[in-house]
């Protein structure tokens, strides 16, 4: 159901409803910048009808429609990340343990390189890498 709402044929419907409900006006954003956009964003709609109201509704419709243009990209990106995480979890424990010494060595080398820079932030990262290398060595 969620896939159909985000990348299906009618994915523009919830996007337009959300844009109208939040007064996300693309025309205000393009013509007046962020100040004009946020002057109305998340504020209630006016009770009286005016030409600005027609422009506001049109801008919200455009915002909803343009939002759906990028939904396929984000949907595919999140799906790829979930697949990657699932694939990594499926690796046999032996394969992960076999890679641990190489990763530990890489962490140690990176920590040594970082120690040449004498700033507190870099030294903290270097120490964290050394501890991670030690933890990996203990697991193997």
Could you tell me if 70 and 96 lie in one domain? no
The count of structural domains within the chain is: 2
Q: Is the pLDDT of residue 97 over 60?
A: no
Question: CA–CA distance from 129 to each of 69, 102, 108, 111, 135 (Å)?
Answer: 41, 14, 7, 6, 10
Encode pLDDT of 19-73 as tens digits: 999 999 999 889 988 888 888 888 888 877 777 888 889 999 999 888 887 777 7
Per-residue pLDDT at 94 exceeds 60: no
**What pLDDT was estimated at residue 61?**
93
Model pTM greater than 0.85? no
63 within 8 A of 26, measured Cβ to Cβ: yes
Q: Are residues 54 and 115 in the same domain?
A: no
* 107, burial (CB in 10 Å: exposed 0-12, middle 13-18, buried 19+): buried
How far is 55 from 52, CA to CA, in rounded Å?
5
Same domain, 45 and 16: yes
pLDDT of residue 62: 92
Where residue 98 falls among pLDDT bands split at 50, 70, 90? low
Q: Is residue 82 situated within a structural domain?
A: no
Residues 44 and 99 in one domain: no
Question: Domain end: 19, 46, 74, which one?
Answer: 74
CA dist., res. 39 & res. 32, Å (int): 10
Q: Which residues of 72-99 are buried (b: 16+ CB within 10 A; e: fewer)?
A: eeeeeeeeeeeeeeeeeeeeeeeeeeee
Q: Is position 125 within any domain?
A: yes
Q: What is the pLDDT of residue 8?
A: 67
Range of the structural domain that residue 12 is part of = 2-74
pLDDT of residue 130 exceeding 80: no
In sequence order, the 6+-apart residues with CB closer than 8 A to the CB of 137 are 100, 101, 104
Same domain, 62 and 99: no
């Amino acid at each position: 159901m969620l896939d159909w709402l985000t990348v299906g044929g009618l994915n523009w419907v919830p996007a337009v409803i959300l844009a109208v409900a939040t007064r996300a006006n693309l025309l205000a954003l393009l013509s007046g910048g962020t100040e004009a956009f946020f002057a109305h964003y998340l504020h209630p709609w006016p009770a009286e009808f005016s030409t600005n109201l027609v422009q506001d509704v049109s801008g919200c419709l455009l915002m909803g429609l343009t939002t759906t243009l990028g939904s396929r990209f984000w949907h595919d990106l999140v799906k790829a990340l979930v697949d990657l995480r699932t694939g990594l979890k499926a690796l046999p424990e032996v394969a992960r343990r076999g890679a641990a010494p190489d990763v530990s060595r890489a962490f140690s080398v990176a920590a040594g390189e970082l120690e040449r820079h004498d700033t507190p932030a870099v030294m903290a990262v270097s120490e964290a890498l050394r501890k991670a290398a030690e933890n990996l060595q203990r697991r193997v």
